[in-house]
Structure 1
Amino acid sequence: MATDWLGSVVSINCGLTLGVYQGEVSSVDHASQTISLKQPYHNGVRCPLPEVTFSAMDIKELKFLDIQNTVSKPNSAQGATTESSFIPSGRHNQSNRLTQPHVTSSSSHSSTAPITILRRAPAGSSNSRGATQTAQKKNSVRNGGAGGLMRTKDDECFGGGTDENLDADFDFEGNLALFDKAAVFSQIDGTNSHSNRAQHPSIQGEQKPLSYRHDENILEVKPVVYRQITVPQHGGREYCTDSGLVVPSVPYEVHKRLLAAAERWGLSLERRLETIGVCSSQMALTLLGGPNRLTPKNVHQRPTVVLLCGPHIQGAQGISCGRHLANHEVEVIMFLPNFVKMQESVNNEVQLYSRTGSKQVASIKDLPASPVDLVINCLDCHENPLLREQTWYQSAADWANQNRAPVLSIDPAVSSQHQTVEAKWTLSLGLPLPLPETESRVYLCDIGIPKLVYQEVGIRYHSPFGCKFVIPLHTA
């Protein structure tokens, strides 16, 4: 029987790759056709593994050193008379079955039991894999010197448990076919009602709840009404916001009645000027670069803004804007003619502006000759269109057109003629006026008029501003 060879000391030659192993036979597996040695030696050096297993396919030659039940060292056994010899006669058939090997021995153990080694061990056998890895590590130490020793340490630290001798590539397609992606996603989306009912029998009669995406509103909403502002007298043009709300224009007469009604309810001119100054300065700061331009590290490159103001309410709105810009460390230069009669609101705004320490000029010659960062145009007046024919107005308009700086016009007058100052941006107040067709981008400013004040002049009003005080308008 194969168990009769247990305890024998043998020498197994596995060829040049694996080398020669000596040790005591610990087990012989008839089914897997393997033989195991305990306390093995590899090429005369003690193996770190307590036991190694060999397959019949890897054995080139097998010698019995001492057929005893006691373990003797391989080195001394090799020095003794090695008369027991076992040479595999070859792999006789398709199953690689080796039977009844011939053994000649002068040892006192006269009975010879046959060792039957069947098929080689499976490729995934951990014992045979360990023996192969150990043999490779020892060969690398002997052949590689110090470099081999370093590689051995790396393998011991990081290479344990890895299968380096895979006989077949991993079947990615077969593994992926095991994953039913459609079923998983249908279960996630809540469409697999059959599985839900099987898992929860109590809800078989209930209707499956709807599922929503992360960007969908779970509350039922009414259809959106985009025309939420209606006016008694249309100005002839319509605009729309970024969200699609329609904002109609109104004639200047309706706009004037709206401002008068607001003043009656307490929204005085001074409060309106302050609101317009804050909103227009915020828009101007954004046009100047906002947080990318106005930072403590950029004080040596302060933006320069030129205000072109007339002696009227529109000019007072521009002066209020300049005062807020100066408070935000913007270099402001205000042009205002001093040989014409000023309105009281203009004088009040000039006094506040002078407290900022910013520059004020009355002649076009004192304005910068080089381009500035922004020009704010407040020359036009709704009540007196004849100002355009005066010399100071034309000189200021010519300077603005020749400076090559972008222009922001605040509350420009309605005129069928071409705009005197070519503006890149136009800021309307409350509701837009029917401005002529230009390439200027129209913006709308919230000046704080309550909803019921709009209703007093016949305007059905719903705020289009949302979370902002200045919004862009697009031609409908």
Structure 2
Amino acid sequence: MAADWLGSLVSINCGPTLGVYQGEVSSVDQTSQTISLRQPFHNGVKCPVPEVTFSAIDIKELKILDIRNDNARTNSATSTKMSSLSVAVPKGDPRSVEKLNSPQQCSKSHLDALGQLKEFRRRHNSWSSSSRGANQVTPKKNGVKNGQMKQRDDECFGDGVDDGLDTDFDFEGNLALFDKAAVFSEIDTSERRNGVRSRGTPQDQTPSRYRHDENILEAKPVVYRQITVPQPGAIEYCTDSGLVVPSISYELYKRLLSVAERHGLTLERRLEMTGVCASQMALTLLGGPNRFTPKNLHQHPTVALLCGPHVQGAQGISCGRHLANHEVEVILFLPNFVKMLDSVTSELTLFNKTGGKQVSSIKDLPDTPVDLIINCLDCHENTFLMDQPWYRAAADWSNQNRAPVLSLDPPVSGQGHAVEAKWSLSLCLPLPLAEGAGRVYLCDIGVPRQVFQEVGIKYHSPFGCKFVIPLHSA
């Protein structure tokens, strides 16, 4: 009967206009199709009136939150009838929606299923605490026992939780059941039987290892000897990637520069390009980005530049100008010669505009070790300079200063080296240098490929994305 639902707690959704009401069922009138709620709450706020009546036309959804009348649970032989009001079960429940219409019966099993939601609904409604009985006390969090905690978990998440999930899974034991060798052997046997090339077992096959900058998809074989010269020198070098760079004689080197100058690569352009590449290498040797930072302005590196009255000296002065522009303290040693090349004079004029220091005597050079010495004393053609007093004094100062030395465009090995260098920077193509030249580097001064072809050199640039690369003895 409709009276069996009296005292139950329900939630009535009347749409967006009227809102949601919650309260205790005080009366159900089947004739007028109305239902009344005692002590109602409207949208979570208690209503000022003690009772509200709803018509079936205004009700969009009706949810039974708590069945207070025990007769509705125990009366299994009697069929109960209600008005055509919808009783909605929470979404996801197997009993999705039960409609209690006047011609439809609601059995005891349905009522028991709704009764199981009692504690769940009580915990998840804002007004459920006020609907507890006098003997119902909310347990304190700090004093909850393990049994009560487990009961609350069962109320929230259901009592069908498998207790076996508390046992940790034995990964090692499960992995021991898998015989990888037998599986790979079976795969290999199957592939051989079907005529498919076997991939092999991990023990039989060593995977290829590639660097992060290597291309694993090679369209064609790599040719490592991409530079061939008509008269190869006595030494061959190779780059980090394995490309062979042969050395050339000084006669071929001089002819190459002559053809390049005839095509427009003048001495001024070569001096500027050499100065840029040499200064970039020197900045890297001095510490690079780790040292040249705004927070390190009190520790400017000091570079001593030893130059002579020739093209190599002009290259060194150009390098010193770029270093001075990058906040490096450059000390240029250049004796007072009666006659100097025009290129040396022009480069010296530009260097003096940077604020660098120029000295003409060895006594004016620092007594303490500097950060780097750039040696530009040697000349390819004039070997008599090595007998000059200023040359011997500069070489002795360099060898006693205990600073690392970078030789710029050093001569071939037959002439010897008065200054022991740690690094040597060659231009365009290397010359056969002696062991005293240190580690050899190569810089690109911009000679076009057609110029190489004109002197009989088959040339393919080994520089890649750089202008200065290291060379190794092949």
1:258 is matched with which residue: 256, 260, 266? 256
Match of 1:398 among 396, 399, 417: 396
Q: In the aligned structure 1, how far is the partner of 2:456 from the partner of 2:227?
A: 11
Match in the other structure for 1:148: 143
Question: For the structure 1 residues 147 and 245, does the alpha-carbon distance in structure 2 shift closer, same or farther, using more than 3 Å as the test?
Answer: same
Match of 1:236, SS state, is strand
Structure 1 match to 2:446: 448
How many Å apart are 1:232 and its aligned residue?
Answer: 1.2
Q: 1:304 to 1:153 in 2, by over 3 A?
A: farther
One-letter code of the match for 1:429? L
C-alpha spacing 1:155/1:291, structure 2 compared with 1 (3 Å)? farther
Cα pair 1:304 1:373 within 8 Å, conserved = yes
1:428 paired to 2:426: yes
1:198-277 map, 5 Å: 221-277=219-275
Note closer, same or farther for the CA distance 1:449–1:157 as it changes in structure 2 (3 Å cut): farther
Distance 1:239 1:300 in 2: 40
1:379 aligned partner, one-letter code: L
- 1:413, CA displacement in angstroms? 1.3
Deviation of 1:155 (Å): 9.5
Structure 2 CA distance, aligned partners of 1:155 and 1:264?
A: 97
2:338 matches 1:343: no
- Could you tell me which of 376, 380, 383 is aligned with 1:382? 380
Match for 1:262: what amino acid? A
2:457 alignment partner, SS class:
coil
Q: Secondary structure at the match of 2:271?
A: helix
Alignment length (residue pairs)? 316
State the Cα deviation string for residues 318-339 of structure 1 (Å, max 9, x = none): 0000000011111111000013
Match of 1:284 among 278, 282, 285: 282
Structure 2 CA distance, aligned partners of 1:157 and 1:302? 69
Q: In the TM superposition, what whole-angstrom CA distance separates every residue of 1:205-249 from its partner, at most 9, and x where no partner exists? A: xxxxxxxx9998686622111111111112211000111111111
The 8 Å contact of residues 430 and 444 in structure 1, kept in 2 or not, is answered as: yes
Moved over 3 A (4+): 144-147, 149-182, 213-220
Task: Kindly state the Cα deviation for residue 342 of structure 1 after the two structures are TM-superposed.
Answer: 0.9
Match in the other structure for 1:461: 459
Aligned to 1:358: 356
2-side partners of 1:331 and 1:419: how far apart? 26
Cα distance in 2 for partners of 1:262, 1:461 equals: 14
- Partner residue in 2 for 1:313: 311
Gaps of 5+ in 2: 1-65, 67-73, 76-115, 121-138, 185-189, 192-209
CA contact (8 A) 1:311 1:340 kept: no
Gaps of 5+ in 1: 1-49, 51-68, 71-125, 131-143, 186-190, 193-212
Deviation of the 1:269 alpha carbon: 0.2
Q: In the alignment, residue 467 of structure 2 is paired with which amino acid? A: F
Task: Work out the CA distance in 2 between the residues paired with 1:317 and 1:215.
Answer: 34
The equivalent of 2:294 in structure 1 is 296
Give the alignment's TM-score, normalised by structure 2: 0.59
Q: 1:236 to 1:355 in 2, by over 3 A?
A: same
Partner SS state of residue 298, structure 2: helix
Alignment partners' CA distance in 2, 1:473 and 1:229: 14
Q: Compute the displacement of 1:150 (Å).
A: 9.3
- Mapped partners of 1:297, 1:175: distance in 2: 57
Secondary structure at 1:357 match in 2: coil
Distance 1:349 1:434 in 2: 28
1:433 CA drift (Å): 0.4
TM-score (norm 1): 0.59
Percent sequence identity over matched residues?
A: 71
What's the secondary structure of 1:273's corresponding residue? helix
Deviation at 1:340, TM superposition (A): 3.9
Root-mean-square deviation over aligned CA pairs: 3.8
Partner residue, 2:60: none
Instruction: Give the stretch that moved more between structures: 150-159 or 422-431.
Output: 150-159
Per-residue Cα deviation, 1:350-408 (whole angstroms, up to 9, x for no partner): 00000001100001111111111100000001110110110000110111111111000
| 3-state SS in 1 of match to 2:375 | strand
5 Å matches for 1:60-139?
none
Deviations 1:68-126 (A, max 9, x none): x79xxxxxxxxxxxxxxxxxxxxxxxxxxxxxxxxxxxxxxxxxxxxxxxxxxxxxxx9
2:471: which partner in 1?
473
For residue 222 of structure 2, give the secondary structure of its aligned residue in structure 1: coil
Query: What is the Cα deviation at residue 428 of structure 1?
Result: 0.3
Amino acid corresponding to residue 248 of structure 1 in structure 2: P
Residues 166 and 328 (structure 1), Cα distance of their counterparts in 2 relative to 1, 3 Å cut? closer
Deviation at 1:437, TM superposition (A): 2.5
